[in-house]
Structure 1
Amino acid sequence: MKVNRVEKHIIYPKNPYYQMLDEYCFKSKNLYNFANYQIRQKFCKEGKYISYNQMDKLLKQEGMDNDYRNMPTAQSAQQTLKLLDKNWKSFFKAIKDWSKNKEKYTGRPKLPKYLPKNGRNVLILTSQDCKLKDNKIIFPKGFNGLTLKTKVDNLQQIRILPRNNHIVIEVVYQIEIPETRKDNGRLISIDIGLDNFATISNNVGVKPIILNGKGLKSINQYYNKKISHYRQIAKRMN
C-alpha cells in the first residue's frame, strides 16, 4: 500500500530565495481571489457554478488571463484553481447537510471567502514542474536556479506554505508500507505482573502460558539492595 509522507524545509527571510517564493505565494492569492470572484458572481446572480475545467478554460482567454499567466507554471495555476474548486465543493456538501440537519449548525454555511488583500496562499508545484537529480530537487526555470537537497526518491508534489516569519516547503513523496491485515477474530492477551511476569491467554483454545517472574524479581531486589548500600557509602565519603 502506498502512502504519502512529507519532508519539510524552512526558508527564512535572509534566504536569497525567500522574496521570490513570497511573491509567488502572493500571486497564488491573487489568482485564487480572482477566480473566486468569477464563481461568486455566477452563483449569486444565476445560481450556477463554474467548475474547475470551465474556470481553467475561462482564465486562459485574453483579457482574463493576467493572474493565471503570472503564476510560475501552468500546473501551479491549475493547482490553485483545484484548491478553490475543492473549497466550493465542501461548501455545497455543507449546504446539503445543513438543509437536512440544521440543529448541527449555528447558521447557514457561508460562501468560500476571499483571501486577505495583502495575504498569501499556498503555491503547489507538481512532479511535472520539479525534477529529481542526484538527491536534489530542481525547481522550474522561473525559480532562478533554486534547488533543495533531499532524501526523497518518489516525488509527488511540492507545497510552498507562507507563514508569519518564514516559508515552509513541503516535499510530498510516497512510500510503500505493508497492507494492514484484516481482523480475523483471533485474539491474544498479555497481562504483565511481578510474581507472574506475564500471563498469556487467547480465544482460540490454546493452553494459556504463565511466565514465572520470581527469579527476575529476586535478582532485581538483590541489585536494588546493592545500589542502596553503595549510595550510603558514597554519602559518607562525601
Structure 2
Amino acid sequence: MMKRVEHHRLKPSSPFYAMLREFCHRSKNLYNHGNFLIRQAFLNDSKWLRYGEVDRLLKADTEYPDYREMPTAQTAQQTLRILDKNWTSFFAAIKDWKAHPEKYKGRPKLPKYKPKDGYFPLVLTNQNCKLKDGIIRFPRTFQGFTVKAVFVSQPDAIFKQTRIIPHGGEICIELVYEISEVEEKADNGKYAAIDIGVDNLAALAWNTGKRPVLFKGTPLKSVNQYYNKQMAKRRSICERMNGRHSSKRIARLTVKRNRKVEDYLHKASRKVIDLCAGQDVSVLVIGKNKGWKQEANLGRKLNQSFVQLPFARFIQMLQYKAESIGMKVVLTEESYTSGTSFLDDEAPVKACYDKSRRVHRGLFRTSDGRKINADVNGAYQIMRKVFPNVNADGIEGVALRPAVVTLSMSARRCSVCA
C-alpha cells in the first residue's frame, strides 16, 4: 500500500479554530511532560523509559493532569508514541554516530522540549474519527467538527488517520490514507533524466528522440527574493518596536511563501511525470548530491536562492508520482556531469572533465564547436551515470533545441475548511 496525504486549511475565522489550537497546546504539554520523565530517567539513572511505562506514569499523575486534559485517551497515546519514536531515533543516531562520526556535523542531541507557548500535532486514528458518506466525523469533545474528504473519489483508498497541526496562524488538517501499489514497469529501454538547479528548476532529457524540456526556476527565485526583502523589512520593524524577531505578520508571510513554492513544485513534478508517461519511460534518473546545500559555495545571492529551494521536497514529489504509475526512480550523484560532453560520447569521469568548455553560464561547447544548454548536457550525463551505454545517436539534433516551460503559481494548494 502507498501512503498519501490530503491537506485542508482551517482559518482563524472558523468557530473551531480556538478549540483545535487549544487541543494542540495540550498535546504540547503532554509531550513535554513525557519528555521530562524520559530525560530525567536517562540522565540520572541511565534508564530509557519506553512508551508503556511513560503512558502508565502520566495516566496516574493527578498533580499535573496533562494526560486527562487531552480530548481523548487515544490522542494522548499517539502523542506519547511520537515522543517514543523520537527517542528511538536519538539512540539509533547515537549508535550510528559512534560507528560513523564522519557522517555527522556533531554528536546527536537529546530530544528537546517544545516551546512553553507552543503547539504539537494532534493525531487521531481511524478508530477515533470515522469516515462516513465522504465526511470525517470526530469525537463528541470536538463539538461537531467535521472535514469533507476528497480522497473518497478513489475507489481503493483506505482512511488511516487525521493529523491536526497549527502552522503560521492557521491550522492544517492532514487526512492520511492508503491506496494500492502499482506494479513496476518492466525495463523497456526508454529512460529519462533530470538535472535540478536554480535558474532551471529541472532539465528533463530522454533517450527517446523527444526534445529536452527546461522547467524554469525563475518564478521560485522571484518569490524568494520578495520574501527575503519583506522579511528583512518586517524583522527590522519588529526588533525596533518590541525587541522580538517574529510576529503574526511574519508568520503569515512565511506561510504564503511556502504555499506558493509547494504549489509550483507540485505543478512542475506533475508535468514532468505526465511527459515521461507520454514517452512510456520505464526509468527516471534524478541527480542528487549528498550535502549539496551545506557545501554550497555559489556566491552570496546564488547561495541564498539555492539553499532556499526545497529540492528534497521536489524529488519526493517526483518519486511518489512516478511510483503511482509504476515508473522506477533512481537517484544518483552528479559528479563530473557538468564538465563532460554527452554529444562527444564522453563518460562522466574525472579523466574527461573540462569545465572550461562552459563558454558562459548556461551554455556548453562540444569538441566540434556545437553549443548545447549546459543543464541539458548535465541531464544526459546523469542518465549516462546509470546507463553507460546511452549514446547521442538519433538525439543530437533535438538535444540542441530544448523546449522551455514556465508554470503559473498560486498560494492556494489546500482546500479551506469553514
* TM-score between both structures, scaled by the size of structure 2: 0.44
Residue 132 of structure 1 and its aligned partner are, at CA, apart by 1.4
1:87 maps to amino acid = N
> 2:59 maps to which residue?
60
Match of residue 168, structure 1, among 161, 172, 183: 172
- Identical-pair percentage: 50
Residue 59 of structure 1 and its aligned partner are, at CA, apart by 1.6
| 1:24 matched to 2:26 | no
RMSD of aligned C-alpha atoms? 1.9
Q: Answer with 16-25 or 51-60: which moved more.
A: 51-60
| 1:180 matched to 2:184 | yes
Matches within 5 A, 1:20-99: 20-63=19-62, 66-99=65-98
Quick one: distance in 1 between partners of 2:62 and 2:210?
A: 73
Matches within 5 A, 1:181-200: 181=185, 187-188=189-190, 190-192=208-210
> 2:230 maps to which residue?
none
Matches within 5 A, 1:6-21: 6-21=5-20
Q: Which has the larger radius of gyration?
A: 1
Matches within 5 A, 1:79-158: 79-153=78-152, 154-158=158-162
1:165 maps to amino acid = G
| Count of matched residue positions in the alignment of Structure 1 and Structure 2 | 191
Contact conserved, 1:91 with 1:111, CA < 8 A, in 2? yes
Contact conserved, 1:122 with 1:162, CA < 8 A, in 2? yes
Q: Answer with 94-103 or 136-145: which moved more.
A: 94-103
2:42 maps to amino acid = F
Residue 56 of structure 1 and its aligned partner are, at CA, apart by 1.4
Quick one: distance in 2 between partners of 1:44 and 1:181?
A: 51
Gaps of at least 5 residues in structure 2 are 153-157, 191-206, 212-393, 395-418
2:69 maps to amino acid = N
SS in 2 for 1:145: coil
Quick one: distance in 2 between partners of 1:4 and 1:107?
A: 33
Residue 11 of structure 1 and its aligned partner are, at CA, apart by 0.4
1:30 maps to amino acid = N
1:176 maps to amino acid = S
Deviations 1:141-198 (A, max 9, x none): 1000111112334210000011121000001111123222465xx53563348xxxxx
Deviations 1:205-234 (A, max 9, x none): xxxxx9xxxxxxxxxxxxxxxxxxxxxxxx
Quick one: distance in 1 between partners of 2:63 and 2:88?
A: 23
Structure with the largest fraction of strand: 1
| 1:159 matched to 2:177 | no
Quick one: distance in 1 between partners of 2:64 and 2:127?
A: 22
Quick one: distance in 1 between partners of 2:181 and 2:14?
A: 36
Quick one: distance in 1 between partners of 2:135 and 2:64?
A: 33
Quick one: distance in 1 between partners of 2:186 and 2:44?
A: 51
Alpha carbons of 1:64 and 1:43: their partners in 2 closer, same or farther (altered >3 Å)?
Answer: farther
Quick one: distance in 1 between partners of 2:76 and 2:88?
A: 19
1:147 maps to amino acid = T
2:120 maps to amino acid = N
> 2:203 maps to which residue?
none
> 2:291 maps to which residue?
none
> 2:372 maps to which residue?
none
Alpha carbons of 1:21 and 1:192: their partners in 2 closer, same or farther (altered >3 Å)?
Answer: closer
Deviations 1:117-151 (A, max 9, x none): 00000110010110112211111110001111123
Gaps of at least 5 residues in structure 1 are 194-209, 211-238
Residue 62 of structure 1 and its aligned partner are, at CA, apart by 4.3
Residue 90 of structure 1 and its aligned partner are, at CA, apart by 0.9
* TM-score between both structures, scaled by the size of structure 1: 0.75
Quick one: distance in 1 between partners of 2:63 and 2:75?
A: 17
Q: Which has the higher contact order (CA 8 A, sep 6+)?
A: 1
Residue 109 of structure 1 and its aligned partner are, at CA, apart by 1.2
